[in-house]
Structure 1
Amino acid sequence: MKRLRPPTIHVNDTVYACVAGITIPERAQALTEALPTIQRCEAEYLELGPSGQLYRILPSLGVTPAIDAALMGVIYKSHFARQGSLSRALYDRIRMAPEFGLCPLCGQRIVATIDHYLPQSRFPALNLTPANLIPACSDCNKRKLASVPTRAEDQTLHPYFDDLGNERWLIADIQPSTPPTVSFHIRAAGAWDEVLTARVRKHFSVMGLAELYVAQAASELADMSYGLEILGAAAGPDGIRQHLEIQFQSCQARDSNSWRTALHEGLRDSDWFCGEGYRLIRTHYPENV
């Protein structure tokens, strides 16, 4: 997960922008009258979020008697998120916040949408709350679906609130095979408590990151194989290890827990890979024709 700065806008901004673009007077009035309730829900969210207690917020069927979950969904889709709407600039400010446009939930794919951390169908009063709106790729958004955690341990990570630190916690294991087998797992950081450890593993599982990173690592190895063979022939295992150490340091300087950082660390620390395994990568791939 990539941490993000929380949005600098609040629900007042999003509600008033939506109201300004609503052409149905009764709907605009209903949303305006619902603002105090929506503000109280935002305050509760901002109070519980930093301590990882959003699971304590109870689902509801609506915001006020005049605005149920279905209507709040229409307001979000037809006014806040709609291209060309008066509030679309606020939507885009949230969506475009991640560096390089990469999804903070997986760190790999391009942001395509906004995910409601607490799902809009179950928490309609939070539909327009910026702190509940997370830039996401389509895959992560679909994987998360509308699940509602009932325990702290069941919550996926929240990019605005959760800080995993810089200690190495994403680990790549290298197993001797043709081609080399790479797998990824979580090693709890010393600063994590049991709940955060469970949440990191939950996030890793829900977002399918082990499978995603394995696929990325296989492609990376294929790109590296030719150069490693040349280097190994000239400098042997020590040359391979020194090269992987440089790659590891370079990746770690940017992100201490990217899959690339973990991969190069795992390859560097594998005597089998540095001595023999690097020569077995390309045997899996057909020659170009």
Structure 2
Amino acid sequence: MSRPVIGIVGNFHLINDEYPAHAAGEMNSRAVAEVADCVPVILPTDPRFATVEEILDTCDGILLTGGRPNVHPAEYGEDATEAHGAFDRDRDAVALGLVRACAERGQPMLGICRGFQEVNVAMGGSLYPEIRDLPGRMNHRMPPDGTLEEKFALRHRVSLTEGGPFHRLFGATEVMTNTLHGQGIKEPGARIIVDGRADDGTAEAVYIDGAPGFMMAVQWHPEWRAGEDPVSRPLFQAFGEAARAWAGQGGQPARMAAAG
């Protein structure tokens, strides 16, 4: 039996400041292929190239990756400021539609960093443009200097709801994670359940209440050395199992075991 296909949401880049490309980090493909045991396919996030329906008909699951551009604040009813950073309206158009469709279809989806924020915005939630400027919050941004190992190092604790889906998945109510984000959840969207928070109160793990399939998202980057990390590995394994269940049932919802 062939492995399920996971569509990895790509980001727009200019190679050498002139050649346009859609790309995703190699560590995303490695986590999907080696830990989730699925086939990674990078998706061009531009609505001119493929509709949400065509993407979902092609893939068994969707991985919403991180990315430097942020969700445009117009998507949650606010004006853009300098603090909101750069944007990618084409990715907004594709990714937000994918979230809403997966939430209804039960098609498996895992959100990471920007993908975590997209899940919230797609369901009607809002974002803070800069977490580190809020009273009592830590700096969650990626360290500006150092090696990749240093930038993706475990930096803070996430406390999970006892008995919640992330607790059941990880087998612990506290886990250590990396942190490489500037923005974060302000108001949770409809059906968004915040299931894990950093010590400063920042939302770090969410799921969609009542979703008929695997719909989980984390603010950190579990794709970094996913096969070695005791938190990342079960998350990607559960995502892969959900994609296999979806493919095995001919694209029919399989109730998300993690959410019970």
- Bin of the TM-score, shorter chain as denominator length: under 0.3
Higher share of residues assigned strand? 2
User: What is the TM-score when the length of structure 2 is the normalising length?
Assistant: 0.26
